[in-house]
């Protein structure tokens, strides 16, 4: 495995994260969330949709097929979000707080993947440019 392969794996992971996030929230009932947090969640889903499209394009460019890649951490967090949505809480405020804690974990996980990709792109393409300059 080389650096480009690792980049392909991380891009596949981003694609899986974004696709799972988009699929999950398209059918989710978030009516118990305050308007402010509903808007935040809608902004996140729009961001995730953009990630899915961009990752798909980039994967095609480097000729990597992500197939039916899924991310087990995203599965676990979305299962937790589903449970929170079904559970009875003392108040909507408590339910929202619990939901937001899990949502924050999901969003931070997504951001960590983007950070990894940013680093990998610099490493992979910096090396490629360096090799091109050395052979020129």
pLDDT value at 30 more than 70: yes
How far apart, in whole angstroms, are the C-alpha atoms of residue 96 and residue 118? 32
Q: Which long-range contacts (CB under 8 A, 24 or more apart) does 120-128 make?
A: 120/3, 120/6, 120/7, 120/10, 121/7, 123/3, 124/3, 124/4, 124/7, 127/3
pLDDT value at 92 more than 60: yes
pLDDT value at 117 more than 70: yes
Distance, CA of 48 to chain centre: 6
pLDDT tens digits, 60-79: 998 988 888 899 999 999 99
| CATH code for residues 3-135 | 1.20.1260.10
- Provide the pLDDT confidence category of residue 124 given band limits of 50, 70 and 90: confident
What is the greatest pairwise CA distance in the chain? 69
Q: What is the pLDDT of residue 136?
A: 53
Look at residue 82 and give its three-state secondary structure: helix
């Amino acid at each position: 495995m080389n650096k480009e392969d690792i980049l392909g794996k991380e891009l596949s992971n981003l694609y899986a994260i974004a696709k799972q996030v988009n699929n999950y929230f398209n059918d989710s009932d978030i009516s118990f969330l305050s308007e402010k947090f509903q808007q935040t969640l809608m902004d996140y889903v729009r961001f995730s949709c953009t990630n899915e499209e961009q990752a798909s394009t980039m994967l095609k460019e480097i000729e990597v097929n992500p197939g039916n890649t899924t991310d087990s951490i995203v599965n676990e967090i979305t299962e937790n979000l589903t449970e929170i949505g079904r559970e009875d809480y003392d108040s909507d405020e408590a339910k929202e707080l619990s939901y937001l804690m899990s949502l924050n974990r999901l969003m931070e996980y997504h951001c960590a993947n983007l950070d990894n990709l940013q680093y990998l792109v610099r490493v992979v393409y910096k090396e490629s440019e360096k090799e091109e300059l050395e052979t020129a």
